[in-house]
Structure 1
């Protein structure tokens, strides 16, 4: 395999979570190596082992995506140890709490926006700074169906995911006309720790999530497959898209 034939290096933030793990394992099938970044070092290491058990090459890194210093450092580490990042799954995010807006804790709101908005911004900023001079690369931001509709009790999460979609569209316009593409995947309820936590906090909210047309929760693999498509050459003409994965929940 020549340098020009080499498959891309993939980077997955929030790679220790349920959706992040599925994305990392899926991208390992189309990448030369996968870097898994998560605040939970043990979770990142566990996913890296799964990639390696499947015959892939992996690097686990513990970092806070909301820290500019951490972000610059882990991107530098990935490129120094694995090579240029060609696929970036900008996936890290947290859910916050379920509470009416007038009772929503200020500190929780701040932390949700720090991780879900500033973290996505920093990832875009530092990865694009490396992709743009090379003139190639694909980025998929993990938003949510909460980016295109409201949801009672989730002020921080909904606000943050609207912002992720805005950042996606801004970045897509800025790289338009190049071989770099920036898209977003918008999962609905996916069987994961996050949805279980939200349902545990509010039975009423869980019922509402299931009444909007989705027959059942999706699987993390359902999201990972769309991320892989958006990162592939088959999506070469897809830029700035908001790709919904929700079993029809937002159709009605």
Structure 2
């Protein structure tokens, strides 16, 4: 009898897997039985994730790729399939927040980079992942989004626009490829304790102010996002597609 969220025999690809949510998800998918392609821009940290998975008895390879480069995106999927023979699960997690500034002070160069990293990369990743999954008879794609995908993030018009776009891509692909056995969903994390978030929450007073606005009362951990990705990618989530899952301690219900 299989255990809940059993991913044995599945092949997963996780981008931005060198730290935070990506690292936790790569490790958790491996724990559930998946063979994992760990994708990261920084080789040293990406290989550390692979070493952690191997030390825990899992199976993983490292693929160095910068999702700002279209050729690298195509190559990461190709290398995953070449090594493992298939692709069943993809977690498109890599992204950036961008510079915080009033709308009228944002530069075109910052806009271009944030859109390229957070939206164009998702489009290209999904494109190549779908091609691979069509050959395998189906699969699950989970896109990492944000609460900024459904409401404005002040000072971050580029990030807000990109994340709104991610939800549009998610729904479009979910509807188009459901007949082919490919499910596509998005996760909107709330305040999750990661190195990236730490750059914006400076000190105990700032942390207390953030947590005061979270109904559950505290920030989340990367593993909580990892579990949601595993659920959506497992047999337990087999009837879910085109969904936006908020994993945010109740923030959006406010």
Query: Could you say which residue in structure 1 is the equivalent of 2:140?
Result: 138
Deviates more, 1:25-34 or 1:91-100: 25-34
User: Where do 1:5-84 residues align within 5 Å?
Assistant: 7-84=9-86
TM, length-normalised to structure 2: 0.91
Secondary structure, counterpart of 2:129 in structure 1? helix
1: CA distance, partners of 2:206 / 2:24: 29
User: Where do 1:72-221 residues align within 5 Å?
Assistant: 72-200=74-202, 207=209, 210-211=212-213, 213=215, 215-221=217-223
1: CA distance, partners of 2:174 / 2:127: 13
Query: Could you say which residue in structure 1 is the equivalent of 2:248?
Result: 246
**Kept in 2: contact 1:183–1:242 (CA 8 A):** yes
**Kept in 2: contact 1:198–1:206 (CA 8 A):** no
Shift of 1:178: 3.1
Secondary structure, counterpart of 1:59 in structure 2? strand
Calculate the aligned-residue CA RMSD, in Å.
2.1
Distance change (3 Å), C-alpha of 1:102 and 1:42: same
Give runs of ≥4 in structure 1 deviating > 3 Å. 203-210
Q: Mind listing any 5+ residue stretches in structure 2 that lack a counterpart?
A: 1-6
**Kept in 2: contact 1:66–1:122 (CA 8 A):** no
Distance change (3 Å), C-alpha of 1:17 and 1:88: same
Distance change (3 Å), C-alpha of 1:65 and 1:179: same
**Kept in 1: contact 2:211–2:219 (CA 8 A):** no
Equivalent pairs, count: 247
Shift of 1:135: 1.9
2: CA distance, partners of 1:17 / 1:239: 27
Distance change (3 Å), C-alpha of 1:206 and 1:133: farther
